[in-house]
Copies of this chain bind each other. A is one copy, B any other.
Amino acid sequence: VTLRLYDLAGAEEERRFSPYCWRVRMALAHKELPVETVPWRFTEKEAIAASGQTRVPVLVDGDRWIADSWNIACWLEDRYPDGPSLFGGAAGRALSRLISHWSDTALVGGMFPLVAADVWVHVHEKDRAYFRKSREERLGATLEASLEQRTSRLPLFQRSLAPLRATLELQPYLGGDTPLYADYAAFGPFQWARCISPLALLAPDDPVARWRERMLAAFGGLARAAPGYEP
């Protein structure tokens, strides 16, 4: 069976920048499963209609369509039990859920006003009106205004990483000595930002930045090889 992943792409087909799709890309690599990615744009709702909803990631495994990064991770864990575990057992799976939700809120939510204007630069021409309208509603401001405020907002975002930083000062990965799905859940947002924004989110000596380096290097540099900005 060839797995197929609908993967958010920018104007350049190779620029893949969804934080949620990156979670799945990393989880597939962890499970040692090859995947064929299909570039997808925000407005191509019909292409994934068989999934029963309108957003990526969508994984197609044989005749099954699975949507949502968490659901896909659970699918991979259960369907491919012989590959390395993404959760390290039932307790690890349950605990990863809070970490995934925390990542949605604190990382995707925290980065969103910092990088939204940069996303707009990279989205496909046909997605730009959709993106601007939906994101400016969420921001409560124009993309341009969000860009002007980001320097003053960055220290607050960096402080909000305190729990992640405190953990990564004590162990190399959220999963312990080796990465687990919780690491991919938290890394996806950093890779999203890296793919579309030149903004330096982290000081180089931040333990979070050192963990990000390890994640960029994982699986033969899978995430590092993707078109984006340094680091």
Contact = CB atoms under 8 A, between A and B. Distances in A.
Interface of A: 85, 87-99, 101-102, 104-106, 162-164, 166-167, 170-171, 173-177, 180, 182
B102 A175 contact: no
A85 B94 CA distance: 15
Which residue, of A93, A98, A167, has the highest number of chain B Cβ atoms within 10 A?
Answer: A98
Contacts of A89: 88-89, 91-92
Contacts of A93: 176
Nearest to A104: B163
B171 A94 contact: yes
Which residue, of A99, A104, A177, has the highest number of chain B Cβ atoms within 10 A?
Answer: A99
Nearest to A109: B162
Contacts of A92: 88-89, 91-92, 95
A174 to B, nearest CB: 6
Given A88-B89, A91-B92, A98 B163 contact: yes
B94 A174 contact: yes
